[in-house]
Structure 1
Amino acid sequence: MDSTHNSAPCPDAPASPPADFYQAESYTPDDSIGYMMRRIISLVAQGVERELEPSGLTNAQWVPMFKLYMGCASTAAELARQCELDAGSMTRLLDRLEAKQLCSRSRSSDDRRVVNLELTDAGRAAAQEIPAVLCGVQNALLAGFSAEEWQILKSYLRRILDTAQTLHASTEKNDK
């Protein structure tokens, strides 16, 4: 941490002090949880894209379609936030989905700056297939795990995610 940040504990920070499992002098990326999680995410994405190839959906395209299908967003701006994309990238992605006739865009009659999104019938049909593909790819990766081990793994990952989100929120709050 640099000296410009307050090192006093933030009320939103996790109650436990940081662990010291990793040491700079013995650090190897292959043994890093960050590296392993990143590789898993990459391999899951490749597997999903391979399974969705017959539908013509890429990894970049199925995520926003699924978020629209699940009701996580209804406007281009909301979808960009949900997918962690900038407005320009989202516009280009929506151009491709619209060209494939999987979604439609319409300007809000109340506020012309707002672009409403809707899946077409073909888009809904394609999006309905996504959960089965996600389950198949993830279940294949969990071959050999017991139901108990799966639950424990999920609880550990949830703890890491919760801590990461708390630290991120704390950092953003301190940066303001």
Structure 2
Amino acid sequence: MNKHLVPRRVARLISRTQKAMEQELDTRLAPFDITAAQYVVLSTLHSGRANIAAQICKELSYSPGAMTRMLNRLEQKGMIQKAPSVDNRRTVQLELTDEGHHIFPSLLEASGIVIDHYFGAFSAQELQTFESLLLKMSAGK
């Protein structure tokens, strides 16, 4: 058997599954006028993992231009607000608005449904193994 055949199949399965999850999340978030990509940004802000555009770009592997457009759309929807940084005037800090905080639990619930759909059949041990394999893969080893 070709040694590249199985890794290619696995790569296609990962890609196909990721796209299917994103599409299902888009469908579940549509009533809130939020896309899966926008949800990820809101989740990043909500969790406190990042609060400036450059950090979010790094966290999510987005280009600065795409991130600017995404943040502008979220600001227009009233989900986030921008404020000058206290520490650095050239940096803009991002935070959820009251509306963003208000709607986030519903978005989180929709996300949980999708996660349960795809991962609910796995045991805790299987999920730990899967996570370990993904971490090993992302480390390039």
On whether the aligned pair clears a TM of 0.5, the verdict is yes
2:136 alignment partner in structure 1:
163
1:68 alignment partner in structure 2:
45
> Aligned partners of 1:23 and 1:101: how far apart in 2?
51
Deviation at 1:142, TM superposition (A): 4.5
Q: Relative to 1, partners in 2 of residues 1:158 and 1:142: Cα closer, same or farther, differing over 3 Å?
A: closer
Counterpart of 1:87 (choices 64, 82, 89) is 64
Q: Relative to 1, partners in 2 of residues 1:116 and 1:22: Cα closer, same or farther, differing over 3 Å?
A: farther
Deviation at 1:70, TM superposition (A): 0.9
Q: Deviations over 1:39-96 (max 9, x none)?
A: 1111111111101100000122111001101111111211121121122111111110
Name the one with the larger helix percent. Answer: 2
2:80 alignment partner in structure 1:
103
Higher relative contact order (CA 8 A, sep 6+): 1
Q: Residue 128 in 1 paired to residue 108 in 2?
A: no
* Aligned length in residues: 141
1:5 alignment partner in structure 2:
none
Letter in 2 for 1:107: P
Deviation at 1:130, TM superposition (A): 2.4
State the Cα RMSD in Å: 2.2
Q: Percent identity?
A: 26
Deviation at 1:156, TM superposition (A): 2.5
> Aligned partners of 2:118 and 2:73: how far apart in 1?
30
- TM-score, scaled to structure 1: 0.71
Deviation at 1:106, TM superposition (A): 1.3
Letter in 1 for 2:138: Q
2:123 alignment partner in structure 1:
150
1:55 alignment partner in structure 2:
32
* Pair member with larger Rg: 1
Q: Relative to 1, partners in 2 of residues 1:23 and 1:124: Cα closer, same or farther, differing over 3 Å?
A: same
Q: Relative to 1, partners in 2 of residues 1:112 and 1:36: Cα closer, same or farther, differing over 3 Å?
A: same
> Aligned partners of 1:112 and 1:142: how far apart in 2?
43
